[in-house]
A and B are shown apart, each in its own frame.
Chain A
Amino acid sequence: MIEIEGLTKRYGPKLAVDDVTFTVRPGIVTGFLGPNGAGKSTTMRMIVGLDKPTAGHALVDGKPYAKHPAPLHEVGALLEAKAVHTGRTAFNHLRALAATHGIPKSRVHDVIAMTGLESVANKRVGGFSLGMGERLGIAAALLGDPHTLILDEPVNGLDPEGVRWVREFCRYLASEGRTVFISSHLMSEMSQTADHLIVLGRGRVLADAPISDVIAGATRRVVRVRTPQVQALTAALAGPDITVTSFDDGALEVSGVDAARIGDIAAASGLPLHELTPVDASLEEAYLELTQDEVEYHSEVTR
């Protein structure tokens, strides 16, 4: 369990994380989403004490990370930036980390096998591909068999097989009762992996809810309707907060009123309906809506 309270980080004039409070619970996968520069990596670095908070604190299982007698057994962290000496082999890198906690060499071999690094374990890390480096980072995070996993963009650079492995492995670890906290900007990835979402934008928490609630919370919920009598139905539906958009193919998109009500109104007016489909916003849309005002680096769309 990770408890974050009033966490704030200022780099000079830049407020990277702004009074953030949330809890990451065990037994589920919690996704940490947000646009570039939102402060996800900074928050994660503060949890393991690499950056000192300007204010607030982060606790892991009730204590600051550094106060645990076996930190690597408490938290396994894969951080964004590379964190390996390029001149050392993968095996020696893991062995050196393991030695600090008296973790046996057999465990080093185990995590190498789990992450599929056997064939390159005795090669120097400097020559590793992006994906192999990412696997080594995951291996290091798993080394201490931690209760809590903090993975900053763990699928970065992985091939599809690797992406699926990470997803299934995270779900498996959570099912064992561990706390799993993963950051990403990939909504599609999160929708398949996470149970709960924390969305960050410009250093502030924009949403902290189960993934289904985040989707449901999106205001853009519409019902697609088809009728031969477009004019009549549009008139019948007219009302405050109700918008009806018509499309070239004859479909209508109605928002502000649910499908059942539309059906009732049509029946009462004797209007035939050929289609009546509630369209959920995708997680992608929900997320874009949440963060549209909070994106730090807007890409200009040229038309």
Chain B
Amino acid sequence: MTTATETTTAAGPLDGIRLSFGGVLNSEWIKLHSLRSTMWCLGLVILLSVGFSALVAGVLHLQNPGAIPATNAASLLVQSSTIGVNFTQLVAAVLGVLVISGEYSTGMIRSTFTAVPGRLGAYFGKLIVLAVVVFVVSIVSLGISSLVATGILNARGVNVDLTRSDVLLPLLGGAGYLALVAILAFAFGAIIRSSAGGIAAILGTLLVLPVALQVVAGLTNATWVSNVASFLPSASGGQLYAFVQPNAPAPASGVVALDATTGGLVLAAWVIVGVVIGAVLIKRRDV
């Protein structure tokens, strides 16, 4: 048994290594794509998006398709291309929660925060990788969906044009919406730290809350309730991928109507609040 003499370890091959944000992004990318559940979710996004587009474009009721004016044809194209977002948002939400809650339920978060002890680097690294991946996969799936819908509608005699800006912008907005929903879900997962709890909370916010408010608005006939409902994430964010009618009638007085810009900003506000709360809790709590 020797007592400690101040020996220094010989220089090793790893002496130059550094923790860096680039490294964290790379790590989170490896983590994301090395899980089967991610691949299932992303595959499902493409499948649901394209499947529903083909279905809707195929069965839409068309009267005298050749005579449909260009604006209405564009509206039909946007509707059938983005119809799948109603479903793929749920998949994006589940993926967003799982990306972080899965680490808590398995204990992986301890390894993650040991490697990245500042924690926020790992939190934002995860968030960025998730958002970019969901956005890219959504762009691809909405791109395929719109091509499929264009093909089917054209075959049915409707004269549609995919390159119009009022068609392309909602498609882009749909991908942005899905990425924002994934981030909001991620924040829920970080706050709640349980897969079941996080998924229930985000699906409740996206699905149950709008219906509940609708019921209340219907029963009370109160304008303010429906106004509140239009500020929910799904309603406000829905404006991002809605077709904009060129001469839509002005809303009745007292009724709030969000457009793509204001709706997008409202959803962004939800996301920012969620992400900030998540960041504060992640930094403060014991793991």
- Given known A48-B117, A102-B20, A176-B9, contact A73–B14 (CB-CB < 8 A): yes
CB-based contact A87/B102 at 8 Å: yes
* B284 and chain A: residue at smallest CB distance: A52
* Residue A70 is within 8 A (CB to CB) of chain B in the complex: yes
* B125 and chain A: residue at smallest CB distance: A100
State which of B14, B28, B113 has its C-beta within 8 Å of the C-beta of A103. Answer: B14
* Residue B55 is within 8 A (CB to CB) of chain A in the complex: no
* Residue A131 is within 8 A (CB to CB) of chain B in the complex: no
Bound CA–CA A72/B19 (angstroms): 8
State which of A85, A88, A178 has its C-beta within 8 Å of the C-beta of B9. Answer: A178
* Residue B165 is within 8 A (CB to CB) of chain A in the complex: no
CB-based contact B4/A101 at 8 Å: no
- Given known A25-B4, A96-B27, contact A101–B19 (CB-CB < 8 A): yes
Bound CA–CA A254/B177 (angstroms): 83
**Which bracket fits the contact residues of A?**
35 or more
CB-based contact A50/B103 at 8 Å: no
Q: In angstroms, how far is the closest chain B Cβ from the Cβ of A255? A: 27
* Residue B18 is within 8 A (CB to CB) of chain A in the complex: yes
> Could you say which of B4, B30, B102, B113 has the most chain A C-beta atoms within 10 Å of its C-beta?
B4
Query: Can you sample 7 A-B contacts with CB below 8 Å?
Result: A28-B4, A50-B113, A51-B286, A70-B17, A72-B17, A87-B37, A96-B31
Contacts of A85 in B (CB 8 A): 31, 35, 102-103, 106, 108
CB-based contact B111/A84 at 8 Å: yes
Bound CA–CA A49/B31 (angstroms): 22
Chain B interface: which of A75-83, A223-231, A233-241, A267-275?
A: A75-83
Q: In angstroms, how far is the closest chain A Cβ from the Cβ of B209? A: 31
CB-based contact B6/A100 at 8 Å: no
Q: In angstroms, how far is the closest chain A Cβ from the Cβ of B12? A: 5
Q: In angstroms, how far is the closest chain B Cβ from the Cβ of A170? A: 14
Contacts of B117 in A (CB 8 A): 48-49, 65-66, 71
* Residue B157 is within 8 A (CB to CB) of chain A in the complex: no
- Given known A99-B30, A100-B24, contact A107–B19 (CB-CB < 8 A): no
A173-206 vs B: 1/0 string, CB under 8 Å? 0001110000000000000000100000000000
* Residue A8 is within 8 A (CB to CB) of chain B in the complex: no
CB-based contact B8/A177 at 8 Å: yes
* Residue A69 is within 8 A (CB to CB) of chain B in the complex: yes
CB-based contact B19/A71 at 8 Å: yes
Within 8 A of A (CB), among B1-56: 1-10, 12-15, 17-20, 23-24, 26-28, 30-31, 34-37
State which of B30, B37, B284 has its C-beta within 8 Å of the C-beta of A96. Answer: B30
State which of B5, B30, B110 has its C-beta within 8 Å of the C-beta of A92. Answer: B30
Q: In angstroms, how far is the closest chain B Cβ from the Cβ of A11? A: 9
**Which bracket fits the contact residues of B?**
35 or more
Within 8 A of B (CB), among A93-110: 93, 95-103, 107
CB-based contact B103/A100 at 8 Å: no
Bound CA–CA A3/B111 (angstroms): 22
Contacts of A101 in B (CB 8 A): 17-20, 23, 115
* Residue A221 is within 8 A (CB to CB) of chain B in the complex: no
- Given known A69-B18, A99-B27, contact A195–B2 (CB-CB < 8 A): yes
- Given known A49-B113, A85-B103, contact A100–B7 (CB-CB < 8 A): no
* Residue B247 is within 8 A (CB to CB) of chain A in the complex: no
Q: In angstroms, how far is the closest chain A Cβ from the Cβ of B138? A: 23
CB-based contact A72/B115 at 8 Å: yes
* Residue B63 is within 8 A (CB to CB) of chain A in the complex: no
CB-based contact B115/A195 at 8 Å: no
- Given known A52-B286, A84-B108, A107-B14, contact A100–B2 (CB-CB < 8 A): no
Bound CA–CA A140/B110 (angstroms): 12
State which of B6, B18, B19, B108 has its C-beta within 8 Å of the C-beta of A26. Answer: B6
Q: In angstroms, how far is the closest chain A Cβ from the Cβ of B73? A: 45
CB-based contact B15/A73 at 8 Å: yes
